[in-house]
Structure 1
Amino acid sequence: MRRLVASTFVSLDGIMQAPGGPEEDPTGGFALGGWMFNYWDEAMDLSAAGFTGQDRELVLGRKTYEIFEAYWPYQPGEDPVANTLNAAKKHVASRTLTALHWHNSALLRGDVVAAIRALKARPGPSLQVIGSGNLLHTLQAAALIDEYHVWTFPLLLGRGKRLFGEAARPCALRLVRSRMSASGVVMSTYVPAGEIRPGTFAAAEPSDKELARRRRMAKGSW
């Protein structure tokens, strides 16, 4: 069973929409596209975090595929990121596209969760999701993601498409690596760590005030 790795850039409040430029994804009236530009540091290792897809097969949502298809094939031949992405095998999840024109790309047919499970069961390199927010939500809900590379940028965007929405499946994560760039970007790697195990710091014997507070909560008047 091969691994499925997800890599994404997010703001401190969890927004992942249009990090690269104003025209990348202004849907929903999002006007802050390009928010990561002024934090970029050439020492950041895109390849190590999976953002180049090196030695992996890509799994992309339709919108991220179209953004990449319109950009990477037109970059200079000496650009190593462009060369890697252009050459990589690309699996594209879409209900609307009928043909793909970017080199080495193929549509995922039928139910995307079943298609990804089948991909994971085949022999081959690890699978890499880059961006692709809607697809990430689906894969996270199906517990198909084996590793997350999340680069958190030190800014608040307030609104926009989020890495994890209200429908996210609750689960524990374990931090396995983390470092910080000179500009304050926290580059972290997480792996799933099973179910959440709630606990409490509350006293074994609640005070009368606490019992009264709980009664108000039960009545909806707190």
Structure 2
Amino acid sequence: MRRLIVSAFASLDGIMQAPGGPEEDPTGGFTLGGWMFNYWDEAMDLSTSGFDGKDRELLLGRRTYEIFEAHWPYQPDEDPMARRLNAAKKYVASRTLTRLHWNNSTLLHGDVASAIIALKAQPGPDLQVIGSGNLIQTLQAASLIDEYNLWTFPVVLGRGKRLFGETARPCALRLVRSQVSTTGVVMSTYVPGGDIRAGSFASAEPSEKELARRKKMANERR
């Protein structure tokens, strides 16, 4: 079975909306687009983390597909990233699109999770998700992601679309690789680590004050 790999740029507080420019995704009144630009380091290897789709098939959500479709086919052939993305086979998860105009693109029909389970079972290269925040929520909840390539930028945005939303399934991750750019971007690779194993540093015999505090907090909404 082939792997499903997610690659994403995120702020320190987990926002992944519009990293590349102000016009990329202003939905919800987001005005901080382009937040990763001033942290770019030419030594950052997009290919190693799958951001160029090299040797993989792409799996995209509707918004990311539309962003890519409006940009990459119009870049010069001399651009190696454009060549790879344009040539790659692409699967698009959308409830609203009926036709796809970017070459080598296929629309997924029916239940997205079921369609992706079927794709993973087919022979072929690994499946690569780039951006596609809403799709990531679905994939994570269904435990379909085999690897995360997460580039965390040293900015706090406070608002916008999050990599992991409130509906995320609790789970543990295991760090397998990490490095830091000259501009402070932490480039990490994680794989699933099973269920969360809880523990406690609390005393085995809590004080009456501690028991009262716990009871008080259990009744507080926030």
Q: TM-score range by the shorter chain?
A: over 0.9
For 2:47, give the aligned amino acid: S
Moved more, 170-179 or 204-213: 204-213
Kindly report which structure 2 residues correspond to 1:43-122, keeping only aligned pairs within 5 A, or say none: 43-122=43-122
Cα deviation for residue 77 of structure 1 reads 1.1
Q: Which residue of 2 aligns with 1:209?
A: 209
Query: 1:53 and 1:208 mapped to 2: Cα distance?
Result: 58
Aligned positions, number = 222
Deviation track 1:156-181 (CA, whole Å, cap 9, x = no partner) reads 11100000011100000000000000
Q: CA RMSD in A?
A: 1.2
Query: 1:14 and 1:182 mapped to 2: Cα distance?
Result: 21
Identity over the aligned pairs, expressed in percent? 77
Cα deviation for residue 212 of structure 1 reads 2.2
Query: 1:45 and 1:79 mapped to 2: Cα distance?
Result: 15
Deviation track 1:185-205 (CA, whole Å, cap 9, x = no partner) reads 000000000000100001111
For 2:78, give the aligned amino acid: E
Q: Which residue of 1 aligns with 2:21?
A: 21
Cα deviation for residue 214 of structure 1 reads 2.4
Call closer, same or farther: CA 1:199–1:105 in 2, change over 3 Å. same
Query: 2:221 and 2:44 mapped to 1: Cα distance?
Result: 50
Query: 1:129 and 1:219 mapped to 2: Cα distance?
Result: 41
Deviation track 1:123-164 (CA, whole Å, cap 9, x = no partner) reads 000000000000000000000000000000000111000000
Cα deviation for residue 208 of structure 1 reads 2.0
Call closer, same or farther: CA 1:216–1:7 in 2, change over 3 Å. same
Query: 2:221 and 2:19 mapped to 1: Cα distance?
Result: 42
Gaps of 5+ in 1: none
Query: 1:84 and 1:109 mapped to 2: Cα distance?
Result: 25
Q: Which residue of 1 aligns with 2:6?
A: 6
Query: 1:2 and 1:191 mapped to 2: Cα distance?
Result: 14
For 1:71, give the aligned amino acid: H
Kindly report which structure 2 residues correspond to 1:91-170, keeping only aligned pairs within 5 A, or say none: 91-170=91-170
Query: 1:203 and 1:123 mapped to 2: Cα distance?
Result: 53
Gaps of 5+ in 2: none
What is the TM-score when the length of structure 1 is the normalising length? 0.98
